[in-house]
């Protein structure tokens, strides 16, 4: 491993966007630490000489601490942390199930908070680096059949906005990623048409360019969808609810 080789830690890397981003960064010559619960999938990824496997359950704070220590011991340092762990069961969200909603919140939101807390002192002491959090367009406004997933992503976006100011004082960049519909094992569960559906590789290219070549706080794509939803976000409730209700009934 070259001393000048850049290094990134990616959680939620066993499939979908996380996996594609790990492969993209590895292809571009970065040293990549990948984490997720499914150890066997990580081991397949780690057949790439630039990728190393560090299995992790983000709902276990002690595991997060230990894994980050192992990554630093192995890599020496980290330039970017990309936290993209997430879960989603659309059929479970068609009614309010408090236990299942709590599980989604624990994985999608609390797990990310615990990851950020784990790396906080490292980056602040280093006075450089980048923490990026994968949220979703589902966090822009309330959507049908999204009683757990949408709120968890809305919380992530708000959290990212909040910590941006604190980390900026230490020279550390914070960004949030808001993908549209990307064909992954999670979106394969959806039973409704997904406009502007894109591949994980498309998402990986957008994320890589946003993290490495851009400096925007939010990396969002595809623009045809995200800009439409951003417009809906500024509408007053009466008009927004009316339009979404009409779309759902089509």
Residues annotated as part of the active site: 135, 149, 153
User: Would residue 181 be called left, alpha or beta, if left means φ above 0 and alpha means ψ between -120 and 50 degrees?
Assistant: beta
| 113: exposed, middle or buried (Cβ count in 10 Å: 0-12, 13-18, 19+) | middle
The C-alpha atoms of residue 38 and residue 156 are separated, in whole angstroms, by: 23
HSE, CB side, 13 Å, CA atoms: give it for residue 83. Answer: 31
The C-alpha atoms of residue 98 and residue 244 are separated, in whole angstroms, by: 25
User: Would residue 180 be called left, alpha or beta, if left means φ above 0 and alpha means ψ between -120 and 50 degrees?
Assistant: beta
HSE, CB side, 13 Å, CA atoms: give it for residue 205. Answer: 6
Asked whether 103 and 50 are in contact (CB, 8 A), the reply is: no
Contacts of 218 (CB under 8 A, 6+ apart): 175, 176, 177, 178
Contacts of 1 (CB under 8 A, 6+ apart): 31, 75
The C-alpha atoms of residue 153 and residue 31 are separated, in whole angstroms, by: 28
């Amino acid at each position: 491993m070259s001393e000048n080789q850049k290094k990134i830690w990616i959680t939620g890397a066993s499939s979908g966007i996380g996996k594609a981003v790990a492969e993209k960064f590895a292809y571009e010559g970065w040293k990549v630490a990948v984490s997720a619960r499914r150890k066997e999938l990580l081991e397949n990824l780690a057949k790439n000489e630039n990728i190393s496997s560090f299995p992790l359950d983000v709902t276990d704070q002690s595991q997060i601490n230990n894994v980050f220590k192992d990554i630093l011991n192995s890599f020496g340092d980290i330039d970017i942390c990309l936290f993209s762990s997430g879960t989603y069961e659309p059929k479970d969200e068609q009614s309010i199930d408090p236990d299942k909603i709590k599980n989604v919140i624990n994985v999608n939101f609390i797990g990310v908070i615990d990851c950020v807390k784990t790396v906080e002192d490292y980056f602040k002491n280093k006075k450089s680096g980048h923490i990026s959090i994968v949220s979703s367009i589902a966090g822009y406004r309330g959507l049908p059949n999204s009683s757990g997933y949408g709120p968890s992503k809305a919380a992530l976006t708000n959290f990212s906005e909040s910590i941006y100011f604190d980390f900026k004082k230490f020279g550390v960049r914070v960004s949030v990623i808001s993908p549209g519909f990307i064909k992954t094992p999670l979106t394969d569960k959806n039973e409704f048409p997904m406009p502007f559906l894109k591949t994980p590789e498309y998402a990986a290219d957008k994320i890589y360019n946003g993290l490495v070549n851009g400096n925007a706080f939010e990396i969002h794509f595809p623009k045809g969808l995200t800009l439409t939803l951003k417009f809906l976000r500024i509408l007053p409730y009466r008009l927004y609810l009316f339009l979404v209700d009409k779309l759902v009934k089509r």
